[in-house]
């Protein structure tokens, strides 16, 4: 039932109403936890987004999809998730950045691109 750090809820356990009500940083932790599943391969963000859209459309709540969109943008802006340019990662593959990994372990929040 919990995601990263034991206190962040797993995205899959949240109702659409809970997704909308979560503070953005908490939702972002849930999103990155779902996207970067332990033991999983490098995630393809397009494939992940397709699954999330399908799941939340069934709940008929566009606000939840909007909140998840904000969380993904927030993660990218702070460079917590970045494009994966490593060999064998073509297309829309992403990875957790070094500062993102530190943030997930309870480190300071990375600054946004404007400083």
Mean pLDDT, the chain, rounded, equals 82
pTM of whole model > 0.75? yes
Q: pLDDT per residue over 22-64, tens digit each? A: 999 999 999 999 888 766 666 888 888 888 888 877 767 789 9
**What's the 3-state SS for 21-87?**
HCCHHHHHHHHHHHHCCCCCCCCEHHHHHHHHHHHHHHCCCHHHHHHHHHHHHHHHHCCCEEECCCC
Does residue 19 surpass a pLDDT of 90? yes
């Amino acid at each position: 039932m919990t995601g990263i750090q034991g206190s962040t809820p797993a995205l899959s356990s949240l109702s659409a109403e809970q997704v909308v009500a979560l503070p953005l940083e908490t939702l972002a932790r849930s999103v990155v936890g779902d996207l970067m599943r332990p033991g999983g391969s490098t995630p393809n963000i397009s494939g992940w987004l397709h699954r999330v859209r399908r799941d939340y459309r069934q709940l008929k709540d566009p606000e939840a999809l909007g909140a998840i969109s904000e969380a993904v943008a927030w993660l990218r802006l702070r460079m917590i998730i970045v494009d994966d340019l490593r060999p064998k990662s073509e297309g829309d593959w992403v990875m957790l950045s070094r500062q993102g990994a530190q943030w997930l372990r309870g480190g300071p929040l990375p600054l946004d691109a404007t400083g």
